[in-house]
Structure 1
Amino acid sequence: MILSRSLKAFGSEGFAQVLKEEVSGLGSGVLPLQQGLRTGSNSLDGGLEIMVLRSKEAPAILRVRIGIFYQSIVAGCACADDPTPVNENTEYCEVDVEIDRRDGRARFNLVDDGSSENSEA
């Protein structure tokens, strides 16, 4: 994924809003939402809410930590007598976003108790 608008807006007052807009449309195909689950078994892509927690500038990379609120479900067997209700659960995870300053290519790393998993687009 290329975050060219976010790269261009870095350092301006509108940076957080631009980053939120670009990231909120990505979904679990790019973001490590499935890996960040705490309650459900399947992450849902719609309705992502993004918070910019901090940002740091390096010569080659912009590093931004974001918090993501999203929804999940506990998937049942879909049988007629399945007692598992399909309720949406609110999930939260933190993700480090590294944006290459040359071309805007972004890498997303799930923050998990001091370790991280990579998801590059």
Structure 2
Amino acid sequence: MSVERRSRDARSRPAFNLVDSVGAFGTPTFAEVLRRELLALPDGVLPIEGEQGGLVDPASLGVTLLSSRADAERIEIAVGVFYTEIVGGCSCGDEPFGVNGYTELRLRIERADGGALILLRGIERCVD
């Protein structure tokens, strides 16, 4: 097996599972179930990075469903993620401060097992 083949295989493995979301797809509770499952993921699973060089406060994450589409095998969704980035001060006397941020993620969920991949991390910007 070549190195190129292994890297392609690694990208095709699910990053995490969203089994409950697959079950709720097409129902009025889908957006809430998806939000709950995404927010329950361990810190660092979602590729959320602040723009100011600070750390994203995991307790500040908010997720909203932007769009969804599906076929017999997969569900593709776009979500907006709101967060607060904690930015350290520029000198010893400065206190850390929070900056509100936003990014969009596109995910693919396999209907068979709930395996989910992040396809694209979209725009990331500060929110006033």
TM-score (normalised: structure 2): 0.75
Supply the distance in 1 between the matched residues of 2:51 and 2:94 (Cα, whole angstroms): 18
RMSD of the TM alignment (CA)? 2.0
Letter in 1 for 2:47: P
Of residues 32, 39, 46 in structure 1, which corresponds to 2:59? Answer: 46
User: Do 1:51 and 1:68's aligned partners in 2 also have CA atoms closer than 8 Å?
Assistant: yes
Alignment deviations for residues 15-38 of structure 1 (CA, whole Å, 9 cap, x no partner): 00100111112254210112xx23
Cα displacement (A) at 1:63: 0.4
Q: Which has the higher helix share?
A: 2
Match of 1:91 in 2: 101
After TM superposition, give the deviation of residue 111 of structure 1 in Å: 1.5
Is 1:100 the counterpart of 2:113 in the alignment? no
With structure 1 as the length reference, what TM-score do the two structures score? 0.79
Gaps of 5+ in 2: 1-15
| Corresponding position of 1:32 | 47
Q: 1:38 is matched by which residue type in structure 2?
A: E
Cα drift, residue 47 of structure 1: 2.5
**Percent identity of paired positions between Structure 1 and Structure 2:** 31
Aligned residue number for residue 116 of structure 1: none
Partner of 1:55: 68
Note if 1:3 corresponds to 2:18: yes
Q: Are the counterparts in 1 of residues 89 and 97 from structure 2 also a CA contact under 8 Å? A: no
SS of the aligned residue for 1:85 comes to: coil
8 Å CA contact retained: 1:63, 1:98:
yes
| 8 A Cα contact 1:4 1:104, kept in partner | yes
Bigger proportion of residues as strand: 1
Q: 3-state SS of the aligned residue for 2:61?
A: strand
